[in-house]
Structures are given as C-alpha cells and as structure tokens.
Chains A and B, each alone.
Chain A
Amino acid sequence: MSLDRDDVRKIAFLARIKIEDAELKPLADELNSIIGWVEQLGEVNTEGVQPMTSVAEMLAPQRPDQVTDGNVTQKVLANAPDRVKNFYTVPKVLD
C-alpha cells in the first residue's frame, strides 16, 4: 500500500489539519515509510493467533450505575473561549 498526494490531502481534510501543497509530497513519503515499516509485520505467520488487545490478560473493568460525577459546570467550561451563560458557543452551524 502506498499513499499519493491526494490521499494525504484527503486524510488531512478528515483530520482538519491544514497542509500546504508543498508539504503533500514529503508527508506522503514519510507516511509511506511508516506504512512500509508496519507492513513488515505482515510477513509474520499469525495463522490461528488471536488478536492481542492488552499485554495483561484482563477483562474490561466496569463501573456500577451510580452518579459520582457531574455538576462541575465551571470546570467543564473553564477553557471555553466564548461562553454565554453556561453554554459553549461555536460559530453558527448551518445544515
């Protein structure tokens, strides 16, 4: 698998990262070398091996259904650049 400039442009758009045209080629090269490195792993025969999701054999921890959080409006909104009362605001979303 190999990425070209259009792929990089698309990925950047999806991630909302602004990229200048001049950066597309070097980024494609960089990403391709990473992919190439990962693809080496494909050479290992993993027939019958379950995907490993954690180094420690453990089950996902679960929480009881209790209200233990919330009511921290000021903390939650502390970094909001343009709050109105207790709302975040964003430039109008038109759909």
Chain B
Amino acid sequence: MAYLIESDSGTWEVVIGLEVHAQVSSRAKLFSGSPTDFGAKPNTQVSLVDAAMPGMLPVINEICVEQAVRTGLGLNAQINLHSVFERKNYFYADLPQGYQISQYQYPIVGEGTVVLDMPDGTTREIGIERLHMEQDAGKSMHDQDPKRSFIDLNRAGVCLMEIVSKPDLRSPEEAGIYVRKLRSIMRYLGSCDGNMEQGSLRADVNVSVRLQGETDFRTRAEIKNVNSVRFIMQAIEVEATRQVDVWESGDEVVQETRLFDPNRSETRSMRAKEFAHDYRYFPDPDLLPLDLDQTYVDDIAAKLPELPDAKKDRFIVDYGLSAYDAGVLVADKETALFFEEAAEGRNAKLAVNWLTTNLFGALNAAGKEITESPISATHLGGLLDLLADGTISSRIAKDVFEEMFQTSRDPAAIIEEKGLKQITDTGAIEAAVDAAIISNPEQADQVRDGNDKAIGWFVGQVMKATQGKANPQAVNELLQTRLKG
C-alpha cells in the first residue's frame, strides 16, 4: 500500500534507508576477552584493552567474524574474503580510544537482499548495501548528577554489525516490517538476540521526500539511534511530514543529524557540530586485514539453519497454508517450531487457527511470549487429536483449551476428569433429540414446513441439553430423519 503525503504542490513519496546496529551474540567482546552480558555492575566487564590503556592491542574474536559471515549469508549477500578494520576518529566521553574500530572502505559483507512479507500476502525485495563489523561505545548517563555525566564502559568494545539498507523503503510500515524481518533472520541464525529493550538492535533512519514521479533523491536527514520498531515508524512519519512542510514553504531540507523525541512526537536538529562528520578514517595499524578463505565461508553456509523465507515456502507446500498464515508462523523461530510440533500429522489449517486465533489471543491477553505458553505444542496437538477423532466437540474444545491455559494440564486428563467426552451413545442422543422435539412442537412444525433455520435452532437446544457433549453433526442428522424423514 503506497504511503503518500498530499500537499498544495502535489503528492509526495517518502524514501527511507536504514542503518541497523545489531549486537552480535558472543560471550566475549570483539577485540578483548571481557564478557558481554547485559546488566552487569558498572565497569566490571572492562579490560585494559576496552579502557584503551596505552600499549594494549586488539585481537579479533573468531566468533564475531563467523556471526558476521553467517548474517551476510542470511541476507543473501556477497561475502568479502578480504576486509579491513579502520579507525573512525571522534572524541566522546564514552569512547576511550578516541576512535571507533570499524570497517569502512572494505566491509566484510557486500550487497544482498531481504524479502519483506507484506500483510496482503505479497512480498517485496529490499536491497542491502553492506554489513560491517564495529565496536560499540560505552554508556553515558546524564541524569545522575547535576554537573557530571557518568560513564560505564561495560558495553565498550562489544561487537556490532551495522547493516545498511539501500534507500528502497517507501513507508513507515515497510520500515517496520524490514526491521522485524532482519531481527527474525538474525534470531534464526543466532547471530543477534534482537532484544530492543536491551539495546541489542538500534537504528539510524535516513529519510527524504520527493514529489511522485521524480527520479532523483532529494536531501535526506538522518534520525539517530531509534530503539524500537514503533518509534522508527513514528519518527519516519513525523520527519516526512516536516520535510514536506519545509519544501512547501519554499525552504530546503538540510542534510543533518536529528533526534526523535517520542514524547513530543517531533524530530529536532542535533546541535550542529562543526566538522562533526570529519572522521578521518584510516586502516587501523594494530590490526591486519581480515582474510578469509572460501572453504571457511562454504562451511558456514553448509551449516546454516532453515531461514524464514525457506520455511515459509515449505509451510505453504507441505502444510497447504496460505502465504499470509505461513508468513505469520515463520516470523518467529519459536512460533514456527511450536506450529510444526502441534501440526505434525494433523490437520494443519486447524492447527493454524487454534494457534493464531486461540493461543495467540490468550498469550496476548496474558502478556506472554510463545516460549512461556502454559499450553505445550504436544498438548495443543493432543487437543486437535481429540477433536479430530470425535472425542470432544469444538465447543467443548474451547472450554478445555481455557482449562489447559490455566493449568497447563493434558487435555485428555481434563476431559476425563470433567466428563466432557462427546456422547457417542446414539440412544442418549436420540433421547435428547426426541425430548427437544416434544417440548417444542411449534418449531418442529416449522422444520417440517421446510424452514432449515429451525433445524439449527434444534441443534442448539440439543447441544445445550447435553452440555455441548453431543456431536453436532450426529444431532443434525438425527433431527433430519426424525422431522423430515
């Protein structure tokens, strides 16, 4: 769906490119042996290398390299066997080295593509420009003291992957789907936990606008360090509207860095720092270039897990799911796994419905993730079996499901204990049907006169009388014979 902004001079479209910073999942930092755990006491996860003491030398962590390569492969991207670490020079209190070790001219990963699953079931390809490895900075706290900022270097030196998209995104919605897809791919790969609350995933958002039909890009602004999907989408909306207003009023958008303030729903210019962008990159003399061989890359490629796109295709073919359903299920690795366990050898469509409607609904209401689901995949599968073999009716199944969600118990045990088994004894159903007909002669006549709606009403009565334990289809058939046969 096109996202367009109307104004006096015409219709504007939005051009968006994202730089996503993803924290690599590793035990130790990129160039030192200190730990990367989140939430540790200040300055406990800092080595003399991270604190940039004189004479300390960086040595690269092999897992970080592997994770970058794995992510590159997951983005269908070119892996560069030769890449170079450079120094990006700037001064800031939480950057003890006075430079960030990053990659610039020769990144480890080149161009690739990410496929977005749009809500209408279609897909859209977004280009990846590059992925490079770099060090994270420390954390500054400005609210602890009136005159001082506090610095914690625990995060300094943790490995980040910066994933740069091409300016292919055209709406806040697409940008949101793109970030979620990146996160999904990296979670499948195990290369980044994608935890936005803990800052494992942050984005710089480049936004420009242009009149529909224009082929060149206009000047863009960069919104720094946005840390949730919702804020990314809001920031784009707000910034695009601002830029349209700027052009409309006869001014020009200036290329600058801006900050998004979600409380005021506005972006504002960061204090224009003279020379701010003069980073004077040069190859880090402490580090040799990173040279990989093709066998190394091929080995990693051979061990990649099934990724969301492949899984989606397989779900469509193997389980006969719609593109939309398959897309929903594979977005999250754990959900996909849950589905497969629950659907294996069963009616897949039914499994999807119970999973996406009933279980997702209940989990949402309880504020739980699929991994915390009180109902296991095996138990949900068990419930589907009891439905399929006629042990319980679908109405009873809903009650059993509720009970399962409360108690995490096996559905068979719940049914046994509460006597919820569907009545298969024809005599009992016949008795209930007959009783219903006798007590409702008027409705019975209506059915005899050909009113099929009244049949449905009778089915309801019998189900009520049997506390939902009768098989509605059997009831329906019996009613047909009794009243019309």
Q: Which A positions have Cβ atoms within 8 angstroms of B?
A: 10, 13-14, 16, 53-54, 58-73, 75-77, 82, 84-95
Q: Is there an interface contact between A69 and B32, defined as CB atoms closer than 8 Å?
A: yes
Residues of B within 8 A of A63 (CB): 28, 33, 59-62
A67 to B27, CA, bound (A): 6
Q: Chain B residues near A92: list those with CB within 8 A.
A: 142, 145-149
* Min distance, Cβ B290 to any Cβ of chain A, angstroms: 6
| Bound form: Cα–Cα A82–B92 in Å | 17
B264 CB–A CB distance under 8 Å: no
- 18 chain-A/chain-B pairs, Cβ below 8 angstroms: A10-B278, A64-B61, A69-B28, A69-B32, A70-B45, A72-B47, A73-B42, A76-B47, A76-B48, A84-B150, A86-B43, A87-B141, A87-B144, A88-B151, A90-B93, A92-B147, A93-B92, A93-B149
- Pick from B33, B140, B271: contact of A69, CB under 8 Å: B33
How far in angstroms is the closest Cβ of chain A from B58?
Answer: 10
Contact call A88/B41, Cβ cutoff below 8 A: no
A75 to B411, CA, bound (A): 59
Q: Given A69-B33, A76-B43, A76-B51, verify A62-B60 contact (CB < 8 Å).
A: yes
A-B complex: 5 closest residue pairs judged by Cβ atoms = A68-B33, A70-B34, A65-B63, A69-B33, A69-B47
Cβ contacts B72-97/A at 8 Å (1 or 0 each): 00000000000000000101110000
For the complex, what is the distance from the CA of A73 to the CA of B47, rounded to whole Å? 8
Q: CB-nearest residue of chain B relative to A54? A: B288
Distance between Cα atoms of A90 and B283 in the complex (Å) = 29
State the Cβ distance, B415 to closest chain A Cβ, in Å.
49
Among B51, B148, B275, the residue within 8 A (CB) of A14 is B275
Q: Are B150 and A70 in contact (CB under 8 A)?
A: no
Count of B interface residues, CB-CB < 8 Å: 53
* A-chain residues with CB within 8 Å of residue B147 when the two chains form the complex: 91-92
The verdict on B153 contacting chain A, using a C-beta distance below 8 Å, is yes
Instruction: For the complex formed, measure the closest distance between the CB of A45 and the CB atoms of chain B, giving whole angstroms.
Output: 22
Q: Which of B35, B59, B145, B275 contacts A89 (CB 8 A)?
A: B145
Closest A residue to B35 by CB, please name it: A67
CA distance A90 to B64 in the complex (A): 31
Contact present for A84 and B148 (CB under 8 Å): yes
Q: Do B61 and A95 touch (CB < 8 A)?
A: no
Residues of B contacting A: mostly: loop
Bound Cα distance A91, B92 (Å): 12
Bound form: Cα–Cα A75–B27 in Å: 22
A77 to B51, CA, bound (A): 9
Q: Are the CB atoms of A86 and B26 closer together than 8 Å?
A: no
Contacts A62-B65, A63-B61, A88-B43: A53 and B153 contacting too (C-beta < 8 A)? no
- CB contacts (< 8 Å) of A84 on chain B: these are 144-145, 148, 150
CB nearest neighbor in B for A68 = B33
B152 within 8 A of A: yes
Q: B44 near A: Cβ within 8 Å?
A: yes
Cα–Cα, bound, A63→B289 (Å): 15
**In the bound complex, do residue B44 and residue A71 qualify as a contact, i.e. CB atoms below 8 Å apart?**
yes
Chain A hits for B280, CB < 8 A: 14
List 17 other contacts, CB 8 Å, given A69-B28, A69-B33, A70-B45.
A16-B91, A53-B289, A60-B290, A64-B62, A68-B33, A69-B47, A70-B33, A70-B44, A72-B48, A76-B48, A82-B148, A86-B43, A88-B153, A89-B148, A90-B148, A92-B147, A92-B149
A53 to B187, CA, bound (A): 36
Contact across chains for A66 and B28 when beta carbons are under 8 A apart: yes
Which residues does chain B contribute within 8 Å of A88, judged by CB atoms?
43, 93, 150-151, 153
User: Which residue of the partner chain A has the closest CB to B154?
Assistant: A70
8 Å CB interface, B266-298 against A: 270-271, 275, 278, 280, 283, 287-291
Task: Say if the beta carbon of B46 comes within 8 Å of chain A.
Answer: yes
B330: interface (CB < 8 Å): no
B49 at the A/B interface (Cβ < 8 Å)?
Answer: yes
* Residue on B nearest A59 in the bound complex, by CB: B291
Partner of A76, one of B64, B140, B153: B153
Chain B residue nearest to A93 (CB atoms) is B149
